[in-house]
Amino acid sequence: MMKTSSNIIKSVQVLSLLCCIMLGMVFCCGVMLNSGVVYADGSSATSSASVTVLAACTLSGTGMDSHNAEINNGQYNSNIGTTTLKAFCNDNEGFSIYAVGYTDNEIGKNVLTNSTLGSTHDIVTGTAISGNTSNWAMKLATVSNPTPTYPIIIMGSTDDTEKQAGDPDYSAFQNVPSSYAKVAKRESSTDVGTNAEGATLTTTYQAYISPTQAAGTYTGQVKYTMVHPHNGEAPLSPQPSTAGCITYYANTSSAQGTMGTQCNLTDGASITLYASNFSRTGYGFAGWTNKYDYATNTDSDLKFYGPQETITVPEGTAANGLSLYAVWVKSVGTLQDANKVAELCGTTTTDNILTKAPTDGTANLSSVSALTDQRDNQTYAIAKLADGKCWMIENLRLDSQYTVGNNQTDPSVTNASISQGYNPSFIGLAEPETTNFYNSTTANSLYSIDGSTASTISGSNQGYRFPRYNNFNTSQRAANTTNTNVNTYSYGNYYTWHAVIADTTHYTSGAHNTTSICPKGWSIPQGNNTSAGFTKLDIDMGGTGARQSTAEASNRWRKYPSNFLLSGGFSSSRGSSGYYWSSTAGGNGSSNGLYLSSTIVNPTYYTDKPYGLTARCVADQ
């Protein structure tokens, strides 16, 4: 009888982390030295001491290389080998253990392979029951600590359901996961006692070999990773794709929002990517990438894309699909910190950290950082673009009310100097839409069409009466983005021109306003001016500084990391065009600004001031 040999090798990642973090279990000793130094007036000196206990967590394993078995055709082996994982962690909030297939050192690959026979003979993961397909599986069990008794909780394989001892699924064989799955957790480590091992988890493997499986030696791996609250969130892993589709992933467990799938794609065709509907507290969104591990990946095919960049559909997408992952950049300070902005965005190559992004859009992460607006704690990715200036590469999301004193006159947070502050009474910036503004007759502190007086907009312009945000505002989420008129987070908020420049007077044609709703040290870009703003950026990106009617010209603005969006406006369709305010007044109640469509770019576009459009900020450095 022919025999096949199944050599299943399981590897364990050992984490030994020392994090200098103040924990809840810090020991503090305050010692009053009343008998110490005594002064003439009878007062005493006080001395104190404190000790910081570091988070020290380790995961080790035994029996990792002992999973070897010879299995006959049409049979299965229910105990190929067992690995014992030993976890110790003094993090008060406990820890979790994740598992993922790791064959050939590739995360997410959960098959058993034979390097000679090729992938057509791979043994796929399964619950190891008799049938026509060879498969293999894993089974988890826990061993309580002898002192004290404090077991790990086993997690369900298809969800986050806890499995306790005696549960029918407690020791059932499960598929080896293709993406990181939480397999065990411990709620707390406040009572670890003297047991240095802390907690124990065992894993047993089995395999079934079909009668038609080719003879040979097949190998595979499972990788285990410990995560605890002070060393980060769940580990990342590749996500599934669907043939003919682009699937968008937040690539983090701490993001909010959902995204739809973009389907019916043909290899080699042009496609404009969906804008992001994801957000993440404390992080800026910098675009899309084709690698989940983009921060450490050095593959030559690593790509970064703007959130609405037009790309050529990669070969193989029609057959296999394409997964794109959000690129997140952690905040390193505040937008209002002039020293931090100078450190990141200095005007010479010797006094800045960011590398200026190349004009072809093929930048890497060295050209992107992120800073937080201290007014409302919104974080924005920033980049040094082709003009050598630092820009926000996300649309402004400032609401009409925010937490820092609700006072825009604070010199530490804004360039504006108006007395009203940014609240619902400020001219040009109104409360959220709670009524039908098209039919409303109540003056809402908005300018009329010529920008000279505050009054109700009537007649043909009544539809452009604009509150700070509308029913598509950033506090709502889209279930998908297949409709260009849905609420997509990265489109930001929409403002009138007078709201954007923090203006309570009427600016004549050509005047440039230096106040704005941008944070202190940042400004709304100028328009129709070759020394700053949209015109200069267009020229430095390879444009003419004037209207151009080509898809290539438009895409220059939408590429990573410039990341301008076709975000539309209050009265226009999102996804098909984009309008951005400048701080330069035009004639007849208009303003110069940037206009984009899929085939047009115009950096000196005239837009009526009462319209609700998007805004970007550029550093004053």
DSSP letters of 51-96?
EPPPEEEEEEEESTT--EEEEETTEEEEEEEEEEEEEEE--TT-EE
Cis peptide before 561 (omega within 30 of 0): yes
pTM recorded for the entire structure: 0.77
Cα angle: 614, vertex 472, 265; to 5 degrees? 85
Local mean pLDDT, 10-residue blocks, the chain (621 residues): 35 27 27 42 73 86 85 83 86 88 91 91 85 87 63 61 53 85 79 60 89 91 90 88 95 86 94 92 95 89 93 96 96 93 78 74 79 89 93 85 41 44 34 33 34 38 37 37 56 78 63 79 84 89 93 95 87 78 81 92 85 88 73
Backbone angles phi, psi at 551, to 5 degrees: -65, -35
Tell me which DSSP letter residue 279 carries: B
* pLDDT at residue number 433: 34
Cis peptide before 148 (omega within 30 of 0): yes
* pLDDT at residue number 335: 93
Report d(CA 289, CA 558) in Å as an integer: 15
- The residue among 7, 35, 416 whose CA lies nearest residue 218 is 7
Report d(CA 167, CA 157) in Å as an integer: 13
* pLDDT at residue number 196: 55
Tell me which DSSP letter residue 215 carries: S
Report d(CA 220, CA 202) in Å as an integer: 18
Under 8 Å between Cβ of 175 and 126: yes
In angstroms, what CA-CA distances link 18 with 52, 54, 78, 264?
Answer: 12, 6, 39, 48
- The residue among 346, 414, 350, 351 whose CA lies nearest residue 384 is 346
- The residue among 513, 597, 586 whose CA lies nearest residue 557 is 597
Backbone angles phi, psi at 477, to 5 degrees: -125, 145
Under 8 Å between Cβ of 282 and 330: yes
Each domain of the chain, given as residue ranges in start order, spans: 3-18+56-227, 246-330, 338-392, 459-619
* H or E element in which residue 509 lies: none
Report d(CA 493, CA 475) in Å as an integer: 10
Mention every residue, 6+ apart, whose C-beta is less than 8 A from residue 234: 96, 98, 180, 182, 227, 253
Cα angle: 267, vertex 273, 274; to 5 degrees? 140
What's the Rg (C-alpha) of the chain? Answer: 30
Residue pointed to by tokens 């907690």? 199
Residue pointed to by tokens 């397909």? 133
Residue pointed to by tokens 């989420």? 477
Looking at the DSSP bridge assignments, the partners of residue 226 are 97
* pLDDT at residue number 40: 57
292: its two tokens: 């989940």
> In the chain, how long is the greatest CA-to-CA distance?
100
* pLDDT at residue number 38: 47
| Dihedral angle over CA of 402, 282, 489, 291, nearest 10 | 170
Sheet containing 261-262, strands listed edge to edge, beginning at the edge strand earlier in sequence: 261-262, 246-249, 322-330, 283-289, 304-305
* pLDDT at residue number 150: 61
**Single-letter residue type at 502:** A
Backbone angles phi, psi at 114, to 5 degrees: -125, 110
DSSP letters of 143-208?
E--SSS--PPEEEPSSSS-EE-TT-TTTT-EEEPPSS-EEEEEES--TT-TT-TT-EEEEEEEEEE
* pLDDT at residue number 369: 95
Under 8 Å between Cβ of 187 and 241: no
Strand extents, DSSP E, 210-352: 217-220, 222-227, 246-249, 261-262, 270-272, 283-289, 304-305, 310-312, 322-330
**Single-letter residue type at 33:** L
Mention every residue, 6+ apart, whose C-beta is less than 8 A from residue 42: none
Tell me which DSSP letter residue 575 carries: T
* pLDDT at residue number 426: 35
Report the 10 Å Cβ neighbour count for 240. Answer: 11
Report d(CA 558, CA 406) in Å as an integer: 34
